[in-house]
Amino acid sequence: MSELILKNIAKHIAITAPQQELFLSLLEPKKIKKRQYFLQEGEVCKNSAFVISGCLRSYFADSNGFEHILQFAMEDWWMADMMSYTTQKPGNLFIDALEDTEVLLLSRDNQLKLFDQCPSFERYFRVITENGLVSHQRRVLENLSLPAMERYKIFAKRYPAFIQRLPQTQIASYLGITPEFLSKIRHQMMYQKP
């Protein structure tokens, strides 16, 4: 069960067997049922979650009650409210499960401990964070420069698994449009593609 996370780490850094054990000893497994919250607005995000199976989403609920999805996390992805996790102050995101989900938790305390005891992990999370920054920068620019249909096409190409597993409502919320308009876009695509 911890093979997945070790494999993920091996993609970026090489660590010894005792370091692996140290790392695994700092993790805590958890199961989150579909529709169950992992984190709610106003709480401190004590843990970062590595998804073993299932799917999480993080979102912001605006003053009109509309939900805006920041991120999905399926197998092999990390999920947290980064603002709250790094500062350990109350956050304003919700995180919940779109499917029954298994995760491994790493508390911020344990993460910082890990950085001191094994600096390779500081490198691992630096690289992970660099990649996250790049993908959010790309998302900002795509939202500024592309109309909704283009953004949907790119999303579908980049994350084909998401298109199959997620309801369109969720995808629309991630793209920043209404489900009604996404439906219209998909209709248009069917009759203009070939």
Partner DNA sequence: TTGCTTTCTTAATGTAGTTTATTTTTTTCG
Partner DNA sequence: CGAAAAAAATAAACTACATTAAGAAAGCAA
Please report, as ranges, the residues that interact with a second copy according to CB under 8 A.
Answer: 60, 62, 66, 68, 70, 82-83, 86, 115, 119, 122-123, 125-126, 129-134, 136-141, 143-146, 176
Answer for which of 42, 141, 169, 189 binds DNA (CB under 7 A) is 169
Residue 186 backbone phi and psi in degrees, to 5:
-65, -35
CB of residue 3 to a second copy, shortest distance in Å: 26
Residue 153's binding partner, choosing from DNA, a second copy, none, with beta-carbon cut-off 5 to 8 A by kind? none
Paired strand residues for 90: 44
Residue 105 backbone phi and psi in degrees, to 5:
-100, 140
Residue 2 backbone phi and psi in degrees, to 5:
-95, 5
Q: Which residue, 34 or 109, has its beta carbon nearer to a second copy?
A: 109
Q: Which residue, 70 or 74, has its beta carbon nearer to a second copy?
A: 70
Which one, of 16, 74, 84, lies nearest residue 50 by Cα?
Answer: 74
**Three-state secondary structure call for residue 65:** coil
Q: Which residue, 131 or 183, has its beta carbon nearer to a second copy?
A: 131
Answer for which of 17, 63, 65, 147 binds DNA (CB under 7 A) is 147
Q: Are 49 and 78 in contact (CB under 8 A)?
A: yes
